[in-house]
Structure 1
Amino acid sequence: MLQRLLLLLAAAAMIFTGVWWLYTGGHIPRRASPPSPAVVAPAMPPAPSPARPAPGSPAAWIAAPGQVEPWSGEIRLGFAMEGIIGAVGVAEGDTVRQGQILARLAGEEFQARVAAAGQALAASEARLDDLPSSAGKKERQDAKTAVDAARAALAAAQAQAEKAVLRSPINGRVLRSFRRPGEVVSPSRDTPVLTVGDTSRLRVRVAVPECDIARLAVGQRAVLIPPAFAGRRFTGSVSHLAPSLRGPKNARSLDVVIALDGTPHLPIGLAVQAYIIVGPGGEKELEQGMPRGEKEKEKRGSAPGPRRGT
């Protein structure tokens, strides 16, 4: 009986073992190890962001277009009365002296009037001188009045005759000749007969935008680059700032005059790009502001222009 009971228990154990094996898929579960304590990494400071570049300061130079002028400016000459041009005695490029007659109106009547007025004055003075000592006070006064009137008539004739000639107001050169003999002229017409200028020294007149004028001052140095003169640069100094702005309201500018150094031989009216040095190191910055390609062009003989700084 006991042996039979033991066989039943062994069979039950085998059945239980088989069921358990099928249930677990043949894997023996392992005892879970206790969780290891979490390692907390020390807090790291945030990585610094790239520093922003400081806003660019204004360039140490101002760029503006301009053109070459004679030191005196270009002086327009025309007759002060209407008439026909009789002669023009000079040509473009001629050197002239102050007071020299450059042109005349046609007609001999102006000099004839001067001659007649001179004769009348001489006669009046002779009559005054020939008065006898017995002449009365009124007679002598009338003779003096006649002399004064003759002098006034001569002065008027001379002034009228002077209007018929065109004289140079300066020592300089004839820059342009606009009118020819036989043409009718009048003070109301805008076209001059000639223009003259003192070219012994030259200057450049530039138009600086209104936004830049606060940094301008007389005496500042300037670099001037004429596009027509490849690879050449000229220097000068600011000699004058205009008292008022010109141009439309949304594009006003200030006229700035730059006196050129030395006596360069440049044609009047030549276009130039001016760079006025308004801060320390401006000339060096101007060189650095020129793109590499433009520097090479300058060496090869083309006319470069530095880029405008910010």
Structure 2
Amino acid sequence: MNASARLAALVLALASAPVLADPAVLLSPALGRPGSVTLQGRVLAETPHGSTALSRNLRSLAARNWKGAKVEVSFEGVTATVTSAEDGNFQVTLQPPEGGSFAPGRSSAQARVPGATASASVEILADSAPFLVVSDFDDTLAISEVTKPGKLAANALLRDEDTQKAVPGMPGFYGCLGAEAKAAPGFALVSGSPVQFIPRVGAFLERHRFPVGFGLFLRDFGPGTLSTYKQPLIRSLLQRFPHPVVLVGDSGEKDPEVYAQIREEFPGRVRAIYIRDAGHSANAARFPDMVLFKDASTAALHAAQVGLARRECVTAAFPQAAPRVEETP
């Protein structure tokens, strides 16, 4: 039996194991506007336990979904109750009381089911925010080695938020985005990582000091989500948020093609596209009018040159690039 077959057998065995007593709620960190915020997540019939990263990851992926759970979701004094779907997912859009608005900035939302609660950060993005960053995760922010199946499996299953490595320089690059520190952009992470990894991805971003306030939009694994899953999510974001957009991804899979499609569909909205070189980059035609970079300092330098990042921040975060930043008029 090869490694893939053993892994599949192990996941199946875990899915067939006796149900643990305590349910769990996964609530995604969210982005909202002063007039509304959409909250989403998943209810699991049992809390994924495990003494190792492997056991926790496998149990997270194999955990049963809770269909029909009554989920009470609340944010800033506004509460709604929704019912989880067959896949355990729930989603609700909350609006402030009539005549009011949600204050821009970071706050938190809560979700409750009988036996479990969860909270997640919510970033209310002001209409005056300079732009929205739509980012990939695997091989863009975290080293996942998607182009190498064996190493991808090891990074996905044997590592967690404490042991998976960040792409060098990316926290600094993201922290410098925005022409003014007091007018920061919003961040939306649209990733193929499974929705069961919401806690892991959120903890990873915090551990590596990426900017606070990321909205997470992870993939719901299934036959219909093996491809073209990013475009609907990004379209929805651009329809909900009127801001200019900066797209950041990597060359390992289809980010360049997806982002080129989005740029064509939303003319004038995309300020820049940054693609980290993670392989499959020999064909320059994949990257029309995109910044292909191996080192995050290259992306940061370009962003400073075109007014998407603060020069003094880039100088401090990437001292080796400082002379080039200063030389640019």
Query: TM-score range, shorter-chain basis?
Result: under 0.3
**Greater RCO, 1 or 2 (C-alpha within 8 Å, sep 6+):** 1
Max Rg structure: 1
TM-score by length of 2: 0.19
TM-score by length of 1: 0.20
